[in-house]
Amino acid sequence: MRKANRIITILIFIFLYAPMAVLILASFNTGKDITQFEGFTFMRYVEVFQDRSLLTLLGNSLIISILSSAIATVFGTFSAVGIQRLGPKMRKTVMGLTNIPMTNPDIVTGISLSLLFVFVGSKMLGQRNSLTFWTLLIAHITFNLPYVILNVMPKLQQMDNSLVEAAMDLGCTPTQSFFKVTLPEIMPGIISGAIMSFTMSLDDFVISYFVTGLDFITLPVEIYNYTKKQLQPKIYAMFTMLFLLIFVLMVVMNLLQLRQEKADRARKGG
């Protein structure tokens, strides 16, 4: 049984990674066609760094995802603390509200936000340019917030409330007790919320595609535009580099986490 599962798992991983292997291979291809390998070259990587617009787009994507996930993390953490203190009925309503962007298909979220921005910006305020960097940022924060809330809330619920009370008894102000007791306790939730919202926002295409204007475009949206023309092989090189970067980041994160767990165990044991 276990052997069969192992074989299936290996096959599934091949299935998951085969298309990416194709893309990575294509980044070393001298020819333009993804289906025919004509020769080996590193030129595509040089081309990426010569292409100003590609680097700007990557920068744009990073700016949006870092800003939106940072804002959503801070905003979401404080909100989660607030929601935790709400009455049960109200809390249920608010969590229902939080679930809307989670269950709604991305395409509907994207369309509803873009209609809102255009409706308010152009029709009500008479603005010429209503789809800007700021509206994109708002959209990203909006779909990032639920990830933070849903990761922080369980940690808050698990937390032993007597810890906070003890801190207060020992003379902490509520603010102090939050930063000294609550925050370290819920930190794992905050971090996983932050990482999730960062990756969601970095890779988001559908929502950005509907909300974006012309003056601030992110990489996934432009990749879509690229796929509507003749695809330039330097895109594959870019993909490969991002793949490696994310791979290394993930491994590092995992190693850090493992080391910390070991340290925790050692501390508890000693």
Candidate residues 89, 162, 214, 270; the one interacting with other proteins per rule CB under 8 A: 214
Nearest-approach distance from CB 86 to other proteins, in angstroms: 6
What are the tokens at 141? Answer: 């924060």
Contact status: 145 vs other proteins (CB under 8 A): yes
Contact status: 237 vs other proteins (CB under 8 A): no
Residues 113-132 close enough to bind other proteins by CB under 8 A: 113-119, 121-123, 128-131
Can you tell me whether residue 121 is helix, strand or coil? Answer: helix
Nearest-approach distance from CB 42 to other proteins, in angstroms: 18
Contact status: 159 vs other proteins (CB under 8 A): no
* DSSP assignment letter at 71: H
Nearest-approach distance from CB 103 to other proteins, in angstroms: 5
Sign of CA dihedral 64, 20, 108, 90: negative
- Return the half-sphere exposure (C-beta side, CA atoms, 13 A cut-off) of residue 49: 5
Contact status: 76 vs other proteins (CB under 8 A): yes
Phi and psi torsions of 120, nearest 5°? -70, -50
* DSSP assignment letter at 181: I
Q: Which residues sit opposite 221 in a β-bridge?
A: none
What are the tokens at 25? Answer: 């291979």
Contact status: 162 vs other proteins (CB under 8 A): no
Q: Which is nearer to other proteins, 17 or 49 (CB)?
A: 17
What are the tokens at 155? Answer: 């940690």
Contact status: 45 vs other proteins (CB under 8 A): no
Size of residue set near other proteins by CB under 8 A: 122
Q: Which is nearer to other proteins, 42 or 115 (CB)?
A: 115
Nearest-approach distance from CB 62 to other proteins, in angstroms: 5
Query: Which of 130, 92, 99, 96 lies closest to 113 in space, CA to CA?
Result: 130
What CA–CA distance (Å, rounded) separates 64 from 58?
Answer: 10
Candidate residues 144, 151, 201, 208; the one interacting with other proteins per rule CB under 8 A: 151
Query: Which of 249, 134, 143, 113 lies closest to 204 in space, CA to CA?
Result: 143
Residues 174-213 close enough to bind other proteins by CB under 8 A: 174, 184, 187, 191-196, 199, 202-203, 205, 210, 213
Contact status: 46 vs other proteins (CB under 8 A): no
Residue 87 burial (C-beta neighbours within 10 Å; 0-12, 13-18, 19+): exposed
Q: Which is nearer to other proteins, 9 or 30 (CB)?
A: 9
Contact status: 40 vs other proteins (CB under 8 A): no
What CA–CA distance (Å, rounded) separates 68 from 26?
Answer: 33
Candidate residues 176, 251, 263, 265; the one interacting with other proteins per rule CB under 8 A: 251
Q: Which is nearer to other proteins, 28 or 117 (CB)?
A: 117
C-alpha distances (whole Å) from 38 to each of 159, 231, 232 are 59, 17, 15
Contact status: 97 vs other proteins (CB under 8 A): yes
